[in-house]
Amino acid sequence: MNQPGIIILDKPVGKSSAFITRIIGRKVGAKKVGHLGTLDPFATGVLPIAFNSATKLIPYIKSEQKTYIFEVFFGEKRETGDITGNIIETSDFCPSKEEILSVLQYFTGNILQIPHRFSAVKINGKKAYEIARTGGQPNLKERPITIFSLNLLNQASVNSYVFEATVSPGTYIRTLAEDIANKLGSVAYVKNLRRIQDGQFSIHKAVTMELLENLSFCIDDILQTPEFVLENSPANSCVSE
């Protein structure tokens, strides 16, 4: 495969974005491969992957909004903020639907958020999660984010609720879940997380890992051209061989 382009992968759970990208690159025989918008291993959904000279576009493709659907489990706090971490605190209080709805207004619009300590934010050249994993406490500062919309979709179980949020880049959904719980006098973690939109890239146009692994299609049918991705953008010139 020599042509440049981008595919939208529906990333499966359990593997890192970098690992998945390398596997796909080898499978399709691309000379170069890279991904946009990292997803944590436990997360699924939209992961755009660029091939060959289209990898030069990665620094130029800026997403203003990302949309996630996520399940929050109340009553347990985990060190990583998600299902992969050890339980570090518990609470007997699980809020009702009405109680949750009453606080969502505090988490919409332009707000300040402290990145999760198990994040890739760098502190003096070291990632926060690297400091946290060795028992340290990374010194993370509040920073502005925008939550364009935050909706409670349904109750998934006695202790968990499903939300949908459209947010600015740099927003940590794990921190959002913990902050909502803290506002309600409880603790929580993100049980599952799915990205359904990343800028112009939508889950509706995504392909599964199984489809890519089987190669039961013509790659041209799912490959978005650089011109399509950056229509009317001067960055188009970056993809010339």
Catalogue the active-site residues: 40
Q: What does the alpha-carbon distance between residue 2 and residue 141 come to, in Å, rounded to a whole number?
A: 44
Q: What does the alpha-carbon distance between residue 118 and residue 100 come to, in Å, rounded to a whole number?
A: 25
Distances 130 to 89, 93, 117, 133 between C-alpha atoms, Å: 21, 32, 9, 5
Q: What does the alpha-carbon distance between residue 66 and residue 174 come to, in Å, rounded to a whole number?
A: 15
Helix (H) or strand (E) holding 28: helix 17-28
Token pair for residue 26? Answer: 């080898």
- For 216, other C-beta atoms within 10 Å of its C-beta total 8
Closest residue by Cα to residue 135 from 114, 116, 117, 113:
117
Distances 37 to 57, 75, 164, 213 between C-alpha atoms, Å: 13, 30, 18, 22
Q: What are the φ/ψ torsions at residue 114 (nearest 5 degrees)? A: -90, 125
